[in-house]
């Protein structure tokens, strides 16, 4: 495999092109990694009262549905967002995963998972008391996602 970088000062937006004679698994992994890197520093507008906050998505532990709408949790704070969960699923980077009807989780922040065969499993995060529940339906999907990250 050859890797070549061309610098062109006339280009307005950076573009990565992968040329291959066959779409092999290795190429798919490279594409996936590039997309993940490109989306890591994305920011979203978060709200607390009348104040707007511009926080990197990497700082978000999880999003969940509450009575007043959708909340975004960091280690220390809770913000509201003006999206529905299904909209967030479409715009969030690949490290975010739906784990129940009411929660989307940032898989990069998982500290532990306590499995419960008969009901929801519990995901905990480091340096905070916050935890979320993974429904049985989504547990296998979460396990697949985590095993992909370890490869």
As for how many domains the chain has, the answer is: 1
- Ordered per-residue pLDDT tens for the chain, 151 residues: 888 888 888 888 888 888 889 988 888 888 878 877 776 666 789 999 999 999 989 899 999 999 889 999 999 999 999 999 999 998 888 889 999 999 999 999 999 999 987 789 999 999 999 999 999 999 999 999 898 877 6
Residues 6+ apart with CB under 8 A from 46: 52, 53, 54, 55, 72, 79, 80, 81
pLDDT recorded at residue 28: 83
pTM score of the predicted model? 0.74
Residue 8: inside a domain: no
Residue 32: inside a domain: no
Q: How far is the C-alpha of 146 from the C-alpha of 56, rounded, in Å?
A: 22
CATH of the domain at 130: 2.40.50.1020
């Amino acid at each position: 495999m050859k890797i070549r970088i061309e610098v062109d000062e006339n280009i307005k937006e950076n573009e990565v092109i992968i040329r291959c004679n066959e779409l092999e698994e290795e190429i798919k992994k490279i594409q996936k990694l590039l997309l993940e890197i490109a989306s890591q520093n994305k920011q979203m507008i978060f709200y607390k009262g009348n104040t707007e906050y511009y926080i990197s998505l990497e700082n978000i532990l999880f999003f969940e549905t509450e009575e007043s709408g959708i909340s975004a949790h960091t280690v220390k704070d809770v913000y509201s967002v003006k999206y529905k969960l299904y909209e967030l699923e479409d715009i969030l980077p690949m490290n975010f995963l739906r784990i129940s009807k009411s929660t989307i989780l940032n898989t990069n922040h998982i500290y532990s998972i306590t499995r419960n065969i008969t009901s929801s499993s519990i995901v905990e995060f480091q340096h905070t008391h916050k935890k979320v529940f993974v429904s049985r339906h989504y547990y296998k999907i979460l396990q697949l996602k985590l095993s992909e990250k370890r490869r």
